[in-house]
Amino acid sequence: MRLISRLTLVTGGGSGIGRAVSQRLASEGASVVVADISEDSANETVGRLQSDLKGQSHMAAAVDVSSKESVKKLLTRIQTRYFQPPSVCVNSAGITQDDFLLNMEEEKFDRVIQVNLKGSFLVTQAVAQALVACGSPKGSIITLGSIVGKVGNLGQANYAASKAGVEGLTRTAAKELSRFGIRCNCVLPGFITTPMTDEVPEKVLVKMKSLVPLGRMGDPAEVADVCAFLASDDSRYITGTSIEVTGGLFMG
Ligand code: NAP
């Protein structure tokens, strides 16, 4: 119950890690705005959220994080309904479009950068601007990078570049926004069982699992636990850091 009366925003909340984060934040007492490119999947997440506390009220919204206009409309909708900006934001929207470097079409490179990197920038900027404008900014912004952004991965030049960028974006945001009481941190999952990794060929997953010291893929709830910690005041002296949630994959 660390997030009672906190307004939170989760992008990509209609699936996988974003859905688990939404559930975890709601179970800690927060009101959650679940935003996703698919309003139906956002609605489905909201239908699964705990909402038994007084004043706790969730909302589903459609957003395309790669569009400045769409992100702006989302923030306006949130502030119209709740009369405040979210003080916690978890950027979980993301995509993969894999191909080997030698074959990768420019469009695939651009789209992954637009959603994963530019999307994290647009949402982080819009939330930070709204918090600063409201005059009592204190907040926690969390981005989803990936261990792949640190070590690279076959077939993921676009994705690895986008996630390395997300870490740099987050550290810079942390430096610039700390004077407003806004903390920014990045979570780096390894291989987590979600619709995103459903697309990875079985033989690649078997190989990856054999490299994980803890011997298994992660569960979205295990990433959500770390996001809830970073959202809460338990992490009040932590900013500009990246936390690996990988079962020890590629440690050191
Ligand atoms: P997921 O299940 O595919 O969830 C991502 C969600 O984001 C989906 O609902 C997706 O909608 C939505 N989305 C895609 N493009 C969007 C856009 N332009 N605007 C708003 N929402 C959009 O993936 P996940 O595994 O939970 O991944 C969540 C985050 O963790 C991502 O940033 C991912 O890169 C990162 N991550 C995941 C893993 C892993 O192993 N799963 C590892 C490292 C990092 P559609 O389904 O309709 O595209």
Confidence of residue 244 (pLDDT cuts 50, 70, 90): very high
Q: How far is the CA of 54 from the centre of ligand 1 (A)?
A: 31
Return the domain boundaries, the chain.
7-245
Q: How far is the CA of 42 from the centre of ligand 1 (A)?
A: 13
Give the pLDDT of residue 137.
79
Q: 5 and 206 in contact (C-beta within 8 Å)?
A: no
Single out the residue of 31, 48, 38 nearest to residue 14, CA to CA: 38
Answer yes or no: is pLDDT of 228 > 80. Answer: yes
Q: How far is the CA of 18 from the centre of ligand 1 (A)?
A: 7
Amino acid identity at 213 = P
HEC letters along the chain: CCCCCCEEEEECCCCHHHHHHHHHHHHCCCEEEEEECCHHHHHHHHHCCCCCCCCCCCEEEECCCCCHHHHHHHHHHHHHHHCCCCCEEEECCCCCCCECCCCCCHHHHHHHHHHHHHHHHHHHHHHHHHHHHHCCCCEEEEEECCCHHHHCCCCEHHHHHHHHHHHHHHHHHHHHHHHHCEEEEEEEECCECCHHHHCCCHHHHHHHHHHCCCCCCECHHHHHHHHHHHHCHHHCCCCCCEEEECCCCCCC
Q: Please count the other Cβ atoms lying within 10 Å of the Cβ belonging to residue 40.
A: 10
Answer yes or no: is pLDDT of 252 > 80. Answer: no
- Compute the distance between CA of residue 130 and CA of residue 191 in angstroms, rounded to an integer: 34
Confidence of residue 114 (pLDDT cuts 50, 70, 90): very high
Within 6 A (CB) of ligand 1 lie 11-12, 14-18, 36-38, 41, 63-66, 92-95, 115, 119, 144, 146, 189, 191-192, 194-197
Answer yes or no: is pLDDT of 33 > 90. Answer: yes
Give the pLDDT of residue 251.
84
Single out the residue of 205, 208, 95 nearest to residue 158, CA to CA: 95
Catalytically active residues, by annotation: 159
Residues 169-193, mean pLDDT to the nearest whole number: 98
Amino acid identity at 215 = G
Residues 117-133, mean pLDDT to the nearest whole number: 98
Mean per-residue pLDDT of the chain: 96
Nearest CA owner, ligand 1 atom 19: 64
- Compute the distance between CA of residue 26 and CA of residue 246 in angstroms, rounded to an integer: 24
- The pLDDT > 90 percentage for the chain reads 90
Please state which architecture CATH assigns to domain 7-245.
3-Layer(aba) Sandwich (3.40)
